Structure 1
Amino acid sequence: MDTTVVKTLFFSDDGSIPNHPSLPVLIYPGVLRDKAGQTESIFNRNNWGNSWQNGVFDYHHYHSNAHEVLGVMKGSATLMLGGENGKQIEVREGDVLVLPAGTGHKRIHASSTFKVAGAYPGGMDYTTKTGKSSERPQVLKEIQDVPLPDNDPIFGKDGPLMDHWNIR
């Protein structure tokens, strides 16, 4: 079992951004500090696919049909997690965030070099939702139906996600 320190955050449905009703956001501070350039390939090796590299949208959004991992490859940013009443967090190169389906996220500020890799368990396709009232109640059902991942995006079968999300 890996001994990486993992921070957990729980967010409630705020009426706009549903967040996940039972799974916490996981933050792995600096876990890939020495391997930031390999972030996407590490995700892919652990069966988190349909990956990409870019930034984070500057508006609140979430994915109702897939969990998402974000790994900071370069630079730093302030992100808002959980919707308008959520929590601002500072992320920097080497940090990894696992966002359960429904978790709102938005970029508040970023350095000019900020770049993340993102991926989804099993390479799932994902929707991008913005909290419109017309999205409900369909998204609430979709969030509940998203299957748990088979692997932690960094450490595979023995990673902290398996314990924090009660997959074992």
Structure 2
Amino acid sequence: MDIIEPVKRLAEKATGIGFPSREEALACVRNVRPSRMKFRDDGYIPNNPKFPLLHYRKVLRFGRKHDPAAVLEKVFNVNGWGEAWRNGIYDYVHYHSMIHEVLGIARGSATLQLGGNKGKTVKVGAGDVIVVPAGVGHECLKASVSFLVVGAYPPAGTYNECRGSFQERNQAIKAIGRVAVPEQHPLYGSHHPLW
């Protein structure tokens, strides 16, 4: 997957085949109410004291005309969430202290641990989208062979990866409190508040 997806993405952009227009991508987004999950600081993973993790189940309907990963990239990009990547989710708990993240499931299914070791185990599948606030721990426990995620970030913030070490904790907690609410929702744009 590490070699195939980047080549596939370049071919889609160069040829336009499998790459949806703005209208085609946005037409795949359904109006879905998310599951809201709030996690406490467990002494290892700080989580986010203000914002809940949002899990939108089956929020995207993928047709056969376009590659699901390209649809997710287009939807996120149209709504101002860029720097998209295609891969899986790390199999160890981690969080980002200086930026929020959106994860869209393009293919396959997985079992994720959200909120750290004392958090919640959740099953996800193609068409699901998870908005992970800064500080919220996440990891993949088990994934199907075909599991593919598209991740992206809002324009404000800086990517970093924290693993819950004691040395990074105090700085991470301060940074989490400074991360602003994005101006646009990664699925619904400015028409819908994120939190």
Q: Which runs of 5+ in 1 are unaligned?
A: none
The corresponding residue for 2:27 is: none
* Separation in 1, partners of 2:78, 2:158: 18
Q: Could you tell me how far 1:122 is from its partner in structure 2?
A: 1.1
Identical aligned pairs, as a percentage? Answer: 46
Retained in 2: the 8 A contact 1:47–1:122?
A: yes
Q: Which residue identity does 1:22 align to in structure 2?
A: K
Normalising to structure 1: TM-score of the pair? 0.92
Q: Which residue identity does 2:60 align to in structure 1?
A: L
Q: Which residue identity does 1:25 align to in structure 2?
A: L
> Quick one: higher RCO (CA 8 Å, sep 6+), 1 or 2?
1
Q: Could you tell me how far 1:5 is from its partner in structure 2?
A: 1.7
The corresponding residue for 1:21 is: 49
Query: Is the counterpart of residue 10 in structure 1 residue 38 in structure 2?
Result: yes
Q: Could you tell me how far 1:147 is from its partner in structure 2?
A: 1.1
Deviation larger for 119-128 or 59-68:
119-128
Give the RMSD, CA atoms, in angstroms: 1.4
* Separation in 2, partners of 1:42, 1:60: 27
Q: Which residue identity does 1:39 align to in structure 2?
A: L
The corresponding residue for 1:121 is: 154
Task: Provide Cα deviations, 1:13-71, integer angstroms capped at 9, x if missing partner.
Answer: 00010000010001110011326330111101100011111000000000000000000
Question: Where do 4+ consecutive residues of structure 1 move more than 4 Å?
Answer: none
Q: Could you tell me how far 1:125 is from its partner in structure 2?
A: 3.1
**Structure exhibiting the larger radius of gyration computed from Cα positions:** 2
Q: Which runs of 5+ in 2 are unaligned?
A: 1-29
Q: Could you tell me how far 1:123 is from its partner in structure 2?
A: 6.4
